[in-house]
Structure 1
Amino acid sequence: MTKWVLVECLSGTFGRVIAVGTAPKSFVPLRNILRNPRSLADAEFAITEAITTCAPVARISGDGRRSIVAEPLLITPQRAHAVRLWVGPVDEPVAERDPMGAWYLNLSTNRSVRSVELLDLYGVAPEDRAAEMAIAGSFSRLVTNRDESDALAKLVNSAPGTEHQGVWAIRRDDNALRAGHFACRISAEVTASGRKERLFRGITHDIGAATSVPAAPPPTILEYQLLEASAAPGEYRGIVNLRSLRLIRWIGEPMPDVAWAELPGEPRPEVHPDDVATMRTMGTELAHKRTEGTLRVRRLDGGWQPVHLRVALMALDQSTTAALFVATKLA
């Protein structure tokens, strides 16, 4: 039976194969998958058209023997992150499509943008469908795997051309655990207004129930079990990017009533202006010792919440570090 082939175009042009059916592929050339020269030529033409027009393509090959279908996976503004490709006999029914969706992390503005298809994959209710939120919010449904440190190091370094692939479990809003294969690449881009930004563009592909995919992580990996077990009541833990001083992700439940997700109608996350100097001093001290201090952070009601922080340096790889913090609310 013919399978769908997923071809990325994360850099805006025809790219490489990242999946055949539900089997992930490590950015391999399409010619490695389609070895028939005529099928390959038909596929390349259809993929290029789908990328250019941001519209589905469906046609019959010149010899009348093959059906070619190319469906772009779009992200706002209208741009394809991947193309789902079908090349099969004309009398063969097209296979069912796996859930998948596009997303990007704007590393310059700390915004995460999700496509409608990705929200479908997550099982998000219509009333909760905010397409944009803080980058930290993009981790809220993910059960990360052993490669998390590598992925976070790439996020912190933000080097254009950097790629990452992995299989992480997705906890849908109905609590179903799905295995999600994701492939992403960092790019340097210029906005219409001339602003230079770095974006982590990606595709997430539901490849089956997490319990049936060996590569998917268990619901809680050992490192986080140890961190959560050592947390006292009222303590909240997270990881901060030391370069931007922005929250990368919470470990366990986020601190309630404070602004961090940047959802519509919520205040922008920030530290009280009078405490910025304390925050910078803590960041400097962290280079050679653990540190702690008290900062006021923005609450969801617009006020300021005093928070005591204990902070330690954590290694993401041999040359990249982040800050691991333990936060406690103060009266």
Structure 2
Amino acid sequence: MTIETLVPDDPSVASVGGESREFAAWQRSLQRQLAKVPAMYDVMTTAEILEAVSLVRERAAMSQRIVETRSGPHLLRVRPVLGPAGDTHAVQLWMGPASVSPPVLGPAVGAIWDLDSQTIAVPSGIVELAGVAPEEYTPRMSIAELFHRVSTFDRHGEVLDLLYDPKPGAKLQFEAAITDGAGCPSRWRISMRAREDQRGRGAWWLIEDITSPDHPAQAPGLERVGLREAHRRAGTRLAVVQLAHGAISHWLTDPAPWIRWDYLFSPRDVFHPDDRARLVTLSDQVSTGYAAGIVVRTLNYDGGYTPTSLLVYPYPGYSRQPLAIVQFVHAAPGSPLSTPASRTVWQVRDRTSPVGYDDQLRARWGRGSRSL
């Protein structure tokens, strides 16, 4: 049983026996699990087990306790799931006869979404999960990078609503098929709860690797594959953009190849600093239901900026956030939408310091098949 501890003093059950429980009350679930081991039921109470769970959470270290019963010695094992700052995001609990080897648990890690930086902090242990190559590990990633790894998923709007408006009590659990770039399928279960306290404003996550040969990852449907291929052949580049925050949230098609959007320290760096305020202004116009067009400077893989036309449409679905559907078009100098500041095709930025994780980007490309 996995008990999430993503917010203080309010644990709940994330999963039992590999099955989702969507924040079920821990007391009832724990009583049911204890009843399945009658020998321990006679000598231990749920309060004692909860105390063991609390100690593991506080110490962030695994605990194993041998309990003598009338049926022989039994084992209570409590293992923490750690996040990027060393906090315990969940505990994995198992109890049974000491003579029986505990089941091998799938890897799991904690993560933290920080709204101010719009990044997800992840520990190095995430490389143990299927779908993440060690040479591509970065301590932070954008939500667009996570969504780009997801091959079959349709709850993007719910996720973005929670992340960009982290109200107390908000929580969400979902499963998603993940690809590692080489086409190897895997599956993750993600539980997240909103937080706004002295540790920051955002959401704490629990990520469980639930890849199993008995439950293979679902392949994308015909409509999704067909539409993506049609857009690829037409050269269409579409994304969901948080205009008010100046960041790309999710690519609906293949990403625009002239835009560096991945492996960045800050997702905002996709857009030139002087253009971000213009995106915020555009957000007000689009929120009233009107489409708009603008040319901005987008970061490229050579370290400069490329003028890019944005054709912006209101998001047609339901969302609490002012999302926009944006078509990215490589703008030619002298475009009708161009501004004087955007008419230089390659505007070089200050390259005295890196803008992102360049080594990991090269690894993703296959040992430097492109230049930076």
Q: Which TM-score applies when normalising by structure 1?
A: 0.85
Distance 1:180 1:95 in 2: 19
Query: Where does residue 32 of structure 1 map in the other structure?
Result: 28
Query: Where does residue 194 of structure 1 map in the other structure?
Result: none
Distance 1:327 1:210 in 2: 39
Q: Which has the higher strand share?
A: 1
1:155-188 CA-partner distances (Å, limit 9, x unpaired): 2322232100111111134422223221110101
Query: Where does residue 54 of structure 2 map in the other structure?
Result: 48
Matched residue of 1:31: which SS? Answer: helix
Query: Where does residue 238 of structure 2 map in the other structure?
Result: 237
Q: 1:289 to 1:221 in 2, by over 3 A?
A: farther
Matched residue of 2:30: which SS? Answer: coil
The answer on 1:326 being equivalent to 2:327 is yes
Distance 1:267 1:186 in 2: 21
Q: 1:52 to 1:235 in 2, by over 3 A?
A: same
1:251-270 CA-partner distances (Å, limit 9, x unpaired): 23222243323436x99614
Q: Trace 1:18-29 onto structure 2 (pairs within 5 A).
A: 18-29=14-25
Q: Trace 1:92-111 onto structure 2 (pairs within 5 A).
A: 92-111=100-119
Matched residue of 1:212: which SS? Answer: coil
Distance 1:169 1:276 in 2: 33
Q: Which TM-score applies when normalising by structure 2?
A: 0.76
The answer on 1:83 being equivalent to 2:91 is yes
Q: Trace 1:183-194 onto structure 2 (pairs within 5 A).
A: 183-191=191-199
Q: 1:277 to 1:180 in 2, by over 3 A?
A: closer
Q: Please say which of residues 127-136 and 43-52 is displaced more in the overlay.
A: 127-136
Please, which runs of 5 or more residues in structure 1 have no aligned partner? Answer: 192-196
Q: 1:50 to 1:209 in 2, by over 3 A?
A: same
Q: Please say which of residues 320-329 and 236-245 is displaced more in the overlay.
A: 236-245
Distance 1:277 1:10 in 2: 34
Query: Where does residue 202 of structure 1 map in the other structure?
Result: 205
Q: Please say which of residues 297-306 and 229-238 is displaced more in the overlay.
A: 229-238
* Cα offset, 1:230, TM superposition: 4.5
On the 8 A contact 2:131/2:186 being kept in 1, the answer is no
Q: 1:269 to 1:320 in 2, by over 3 A?
A: closer
* Cα offset, 1:98, TM superposition: 1.4
Q: Which has the higher helix share?
A: 2
1:87-125 CA-partner distances (Å, limit 9, x unpaired): 112222111111322222211211111223322213433
Query: Where does residue 312 of structure 1 map in the other structure?
Result: 313
The answer on 1:260 being equivalent to 2:261 is yes
Q: Rg larger in 1 or in 2?
A: 2
Distance 2:245 2:83 in 1: 25
Distance 2:168 2:152 in 1: 23
On the 8 A contact 2:171/2:192 being kept in 1, the answer is yes
Sequence identity of aligned pairs in percent? 24
Matched residue of 2:283: which SS? Answer: helix
Paired amino acid for 1:78: G
Distance 1:276 1:101 in 2: 34
Please, which runs of 5 or more residues in structure 2 have no aligned partner? Answer: 35-40, 333-372
Matched residue of 1:136: which SS? Answer: helix
Distance 1:156 1:312 in 2: 20
1:53-110 CA-partner distances (Å, limit 9, x unpaired): 0111111125463211111111121101111111112222111111322222211211
Query: Where does residue 156 of structure 1 map in the other structure?
Result: 164
* Cα offset, 1:308, TM superposition: 0.8
The answer on 1:182 being equivalent to 2:182 is no
* Cα offset, 1:206, TM superposition: 2.4
On the 8 A contact 2:237/2:329 being kept in 1, the answer is yes
Query: Where does residue 299 of structure 2 map in the other structure?
Result: 298
Matched residue of 1:235: which SS? Answer: coil
Q: Please say which of residues 149-158 and 85-94 is displaced more in the overlay.
A: 149-158
Q: 1:117 to 1:326 in 2, by over 3 A?
A: same
On the 8 A contact 1:150/1:316 being kept in 2, the answer is no
